Amino acid sequence: MTIPLLRGLFELVDRFLAEWMSRYGVTLLRFGLGFVFVWFGALKFVPGLSPAEDLALDTIAVLTFGLMPLALAQPILALWEVLIGLGFLTGRFLRLTLLLLFFQMIGTVMPLFIFPELTFTHIPYAPTLEGQYIIKNMVLVAAALVIGATVRGGQLVADPHRIMTASSLSRESEG
């Protein structure tokens, strides 16, 4: 095979994969987030089943100044997370789903600040397993931002140059 033939084959495969990812990526991202939130939320319905339960409930106790009974806080948090997950899985009420997620993530990050002794072995650069669990939520937030960019009909584009060219040709023909 010659180099130009290999380049052509690479271009063909690359274009196919990029178009496939742009077509299905946001949907797969939504399903992935939905699955994670339903699963982790469902665990919280059963006391003692979620590994994040104690830290989550301790955080809620601090944030509510101890006014919310933990027996009530746990099912509310579980339901909150399951609703986020169902919103992503169904694709319905995405704006509300994203709002619920962002408020939930504010609460999720709080242990880094109010319980640093539990979330870091060496503050602020060596997180414990719990700290890593919290920090990785930045990826969930970023995924939610990508999904949020599509709620008004936006989508990923595999080849922006092709769209820009088509758009400029369309403007020229109108002018």
Tokens read off for 58 = 């301790």
Angle at 132 between CA 131 and CA 135, to 5 degrees: 85
pLDDT in tens, the chain (175 residues): 578 888 999 999 999 999 999 999 999 999 999 999 999 999 999 999 999 999 999 999 999 999 999 999 999 999 999 999 999 999 999 999 999 999 999 999 999 999 999 999 999 999 999 999 999 999 999 999 999 999 999 888 888 777 666 556 566 666 5
pTM of the prediction?
Answer: 0.87
Token pair, residue 60, equals 């809620």
DSSP 38-94: HHHHHHHTSTTT-TTHHHHHHHHHHHTTT-S-HHHHHHHHHHHHHHHHHHHHH--SH
Map residue 122 onto helix, strand or coil: strand
